[in-house]
């Protein structure tokens, strides 16, 4: 099954998608594989990675997939990754975590942990792969950021800060790619129906003895009232934009913070 009416020209491209066993990362891996790219599936455990690969092959029997069971929040894991895969054509920095916590209770350890996962993982991978992409004359690096990069959430300020850092890094790296055929962009995802969100909705519905539909409606009435979509986006909806930006067809898009956030951010730019 193909997902677009045009050929995104991704055949024989090698893509690494960090944190791709579920949610947006899994959807991105699926979209790239459906377009003919060879995709490296990454997760923290072999069980998660093998499960994701089995699920993808059930949907896309001809998919070309590689397994990478490593926690890319550590420098050692990144070093082993680049040893095993010295060059990739497409790098999707999707690995991320979040935790609602009052600012006063966010410890130095909490800050270090979320910075290593959400920011340093992508920085380290980009530091290795960007120069190789420039040397080859083509490449794509995409950071999966969030509308929280613009609308810093008061309930998890540290998460929002890391998402802003991703956007800044992507723009800075893009400045180094002039005339090379390489692009670096960020995609600002909005509230998306990932595993964590699905559990949040289900648990809250059970606790309050209401339906999941009512929970979702209340969330957008109170927590994200500026949303124009008025619902959680499906991971595939975010992945569609990422797949296009990863393709040769998006060669004129560089240094951009692209929004797939359902209109939550009230800004014309």
Catalytic residue set: 159
Residue 72, burial from CB neighbour count under 10 angstroms (0-12, 13-18, 19+): buried
Residue found by looking up tokens 């296009």 in the block: 244
As given in the structure block, the two tokens for residue 78 are 């990144």
Q: How far apart are CA 69 and CA 22, in angstroms?
A: 14
Q: For residues 88 and 126, is the Cβ–Cβ distance under 8 A?
A: no
Q: For residues 145 and 165, is the Cβ–Cβ distance under 8 A?
A: no
Q: How far apart are CA 108 and CA 158, in angstroms?
A: 11
Chain centroid offset of residue 258 CA: 12
Residue 255, burial from CB neighbour count under 10 angstroms (0-12, 13-18, 19+): middle
Q: How far apart are CA 146 and CA 170, in angstroms?
A: 13
Residue 269, burial from CB neighbour count under 10 angstroms (0-12, 13-18, 19+): exposed
Q: How far apart are CA 229 and CA 114, in angstroms?
A: 29
């Amino acid at each position: 099954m193909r997902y677009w009416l045009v050929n995104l020209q991704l055949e024989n491209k090698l893509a690494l998608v960090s944190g791709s066993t579920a949610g947006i990362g899994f959807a991105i891996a699926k979209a790239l594989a459906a377009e003919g790219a060879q995709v490296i599936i990454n997760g923290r455990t072999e069980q998660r990675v093998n499960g994701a690969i089995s699920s993808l092959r059930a949907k896309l029997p001809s998919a070309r997939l590689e397994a990478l069971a490593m926690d890319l929040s550590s420098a050692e894991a990144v070093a082993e990754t680049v040893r095993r895969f010295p060059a990739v054509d497409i790098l999707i920095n999707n690995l991320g975590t979040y935790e609602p916590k009052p600012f006063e209770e966010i410890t130095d350890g909490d800050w270090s942990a979320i910075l290593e996962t959400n920011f340093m993982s992508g920085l380290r991978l980009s530091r290795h792969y960007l120069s190789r992409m420039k040397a080859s004359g083509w490449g794509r690096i995409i950071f999966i950021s969030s509308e929280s990069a613009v609308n810093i959430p008061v309930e998890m300020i540290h998460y929002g800060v890391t998402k802003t850092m991703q956007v800044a890094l992507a723009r800075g790296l893009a400045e180094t790619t002039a005339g090379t055929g390489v692009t670096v962009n960020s995609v600002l995802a909005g509230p998306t129906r990932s595993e964590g969100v699905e559990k949040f909705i289900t648990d809250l519905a059970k606790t309050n003895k209401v339906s999941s539909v009512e929970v979702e409606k209340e969330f957008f009435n109170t927590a994200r009232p500026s949303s124009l979509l008025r619902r959680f986006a499906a991971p595939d909806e975010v992945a569609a934009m990422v797949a296009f930006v990863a393709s040769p067809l998006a060669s004129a898009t560089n240094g951009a913070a692209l929004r797939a956030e359902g209109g939550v951010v009230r800004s014309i730019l």
